[in-house]
Amino acid sequence: MAENKKATGIPEPLKAKYENIAGMIDAFCEEHLDGDYQYLCIHALQKLCRKKDSHMYKGRDNTWAAGIVYAIAQVTELVGNQRDLLRWRPKYEISAAQVAAAFGVSSGAMQGKAKEIREVLNITKQQEEWMTPEWRDNKSRKTFEEFRRYLGIR
């Protein structure tokens, strides 16, 4: 297992769940994304499992895996209409339907779980912790809000 995938600090009752979800995320990222996104997703999974009052004890593994991937895809703008208005384009583009189908969950369940994950971990686009190197290094990118201001859209 890669260094960031080790289950160190994961409570014993969650270790099997962690391993299962990490395996699903790995498989998805190997097929559809890359190691940078895989790292961010596993990082989010570890933080969720290590939380004192972890929500991870409840819910299906595939819903958690889909929610984690989708939450990271949202903050890195792999999904959504915002990327069409920006000069910066990520290497990958993926739809909510593709993520949900890959994990065998409904789009609504996945989106609800992604929202919960973003709130619990306080994941935002402005935090470098949740940026891929590609996103972080692209200094010429404009946020959607900056673009709207530039166009005079409120």
pLDDT tens sequence across 13-66? 999 999 999 999 999 999 998 898 999 999 999 999 999 888 889 999 999 999
Give helix then strand counts, H and E, for the chain.
Answer: 8, 0
How wide is the angle at C-alpha 71 spanned by C-alphas 3 and 10, nearest 5°? Answer: 40
**Mean pLDDT of all residues in 75-94:** 62
Question: Which band of pLDDT confidence, cut at 50, 70 and 90, is reported for residue 81?
Answer: low
**Mean pLDDT of all residues in 117-138:** 80
**For position 6, what pLDDT does the model report?**
65
**Per-residue pLDDT for 95 more than 80?**
yes
pTM for the predicted model, two decimal places: 0.80
**For position 21, what pLDDT does the model report?**
97
130 neighbors 77 (Cβ within 8 angstroms): no
Q: Could you tell me the CA-to-CA distances from 61 to 20, 56, 110 in Å, in that order?
A: 7, 9, 11
**Per-residue pLDDT for 139 more than 50?**
no
Task: Extract the tokens encoding 63.
Answer: 């819903």
Burial state string for 92-107 with b = 16 or more CB within 10 A and e = fewer than 16? bebebeebbebbebeb
**For position 140, what pLDDT does the model report?**
44
**For position 1, what pLDDT does the model report?**
36
**For position 125, what pLDDT does the model report?**
79
